[in-house]
Amino acid sequence: MSSVRPPAPEIDPIAELGAGRRLGTFDSLIEVPAFRWYMAAMVGNWASMQMQQVVRGFLVYNLTGSYAALGGMALANSAPRLVLALFGGVMADRMPKRLVLQGGQSFNAFLTLSIGLLLAFDLLRFEHLLISAVLQGISNSFTQPSRQALIPEVVGLGRLTNAVALNASGMNTMRLTAPAVAGMMLAFVDFEWVYFLMTGLYMAAVLALMRLPRRPIEGYEDSALGASRRTGSGEDRSGLRDIGDALRYLRGQRALALLLVVHLFIVVFSMPYQRLLPGFVHEVLSNSEQQTALRLGFLYTATGLGALTGSLVIASIPGRRRGKLLLYGTALMGASLLAFAVSEVFWLSAGIVIVMGLGQASRQALSQVLIQTHVTNEYRGRISSIMMMEMGLTSFGTFGFGVLASKLGIQEALGVAAVALMLVSAFVYVFVPRYRDLD
């Protein structure tokens, strides 16, 4: 297996021509109609996911009063990726990615409808939420690699940085609006209506994906990164063999392996904030259940505001010094998380999480761009699945921080995570110049 590093992405001449006439922030949306349908589908998916993050965390903490239970719920949702994510990557490389996404979103709609009905009939227990989280984790193990690997096929490689950043901006727009909607619904209407709305959003995403073309954008499969080596029609390849091929490929790609390792450490320490926030707000920043619901949604929204700003900035910048920018974003998130952990004033905390979202968006968008830039299309789905498997590993960190919060306090636990984020970014910047200098 060759270990030659893939060349830099080709420049799309149409995109370059457009860049001379206008700011290219929304280039992929303007020039690629299929990408508009992709984004419409993702908006429905993300809105539902962001609402679920609010309502499920709120319900779990209300039912148990335990940070360990919040961490355990994150573990239940993410642990299936450790076993199944690589098989999801194989599926992404073998099957039409659009169909994989539609199947997973339909299944998620079934799960949210089921929880909504249990709430409507006053039958919901913690165990139901736990089972639903596991089943959704299984579904996402197969769909998320396809979701990430589909973007280059829709827009081409010349617009990859712009499209990934716009993809992140769409997600962050939903982080700006969906949590606030969920928080208000939790405060003023029955909880099941949040789940019924989520069901409708998932189904809207399924319908929007039907408008995507069945083949990648013209010229993509002939490009250096897009070229795929397909097995002969008579060759029967097992999923395990495909996984083995991907791991051998990764072993020969040092820059790609480095990106994945650093991504793992960063996400381990950045995820606990999102998963433990319902308990933090209840204990530190509010005085009643209704106030917790409203302020929880508001803080998720404020984080989304910062993240949306960050992702639009990334969409506008040229593809240079991305390694340094990623580390700067990680350090910014760590510093703001430390300030958030110390603050006990709600409006001050709301301002801090805007800055936190800015750092988080920079880290998320640039990490995905760099990884997608350094992988050939033949392995794109399987490498994306390794990123998803890393998210499964981070759930153990979230569970550990949940236990730490139960023992020492939630502010102390988030403070430890913040310091760890800053140390990781400083260590990589100083001692791993290969990462720092990535473009």
pLDDT tens-digit readout, 144-177: 778 877 887 787 766 777 787 777 777 777 877 8
In a domain, 15, yes or no: no
Yes or no: say if 88 and 146 are a contact pair by the CB < 8 Å rule: yes
Question: What CATH number does the domain containing 365 carry?
Answer: 1.20.1250.20
Q: What is the DSSP letter of 122?
A: T
For residues 421 and 428, give the distance between their C-alpha atoms in angstroms, rounded to a whole number: 11
Q: What is the DSSP letter of 253?
A: -
For residues 69 and 148, give the distance between their C-alpha atoms in angstroms, rounded to a whole number: 30
Total tally of structural domains belonging to the chain: 1
In a domain, 219, yes or no: no
In a domain, 14, yes or no: no
pTM over 0.75: no
Closest residue by Cα to residue 369 from 332, 326, 425, 427 = 326
- Give residue 255's domain range: 29-211+238-436
Which pLDDT does position 238 carry in this prediction?
56
Closest residue by Cα to residue 137 from 393, 372, 380 = 393
Distances (CA, A) of 93 to 88, 89, 96, 153, 367: 9, 6, 8, 12, 21
Yes or no: say if 403 and 247 are a contact pair by the CB < 8 Å rule: no
In a domain, 231, yes or no: no
In a domain, 223, yes or no: no
Closest residue by Cα to residue 398 from 385, 413, 415 = 413
Assigned token pair, 393: 């590993």
DSSP notation for 287-318: SSHHHHHHHHHHHHHHHHHHHHHHHHHHHHS-
In a domain, 312, yes or no: yes
pLDDT at 226 over 90: no
Which pLDDT does position 113 carry in this prediction?
96
In a domain, 217, yes or no: no
DSSP notation for 23-62: -GGGHHHHH-HHHHHHHHHHHHHHHHHHHHHHHHHHHHHH
For residue range 5-31, what is the model confidence (pLDDT) as tens digits? 444 444 443 333 344 444 566 777 777
For residue range 319-353, what is the model confidence (pLDDT) as tens digits? 567 788 888 888 888 999 999 999 999 999 999 99
In a domain, 227, yes or no: no
Closest residue by Cα to residue 278 from 182, 389, 199 = 182
159-163, 231-235, 294-298 — which one is most confidently predicted on average?
A: 294-298
Average pLDDT value for the chain: 79
pLDDT at 218 over 70: no
Assigned token pair, 200: 């409708």
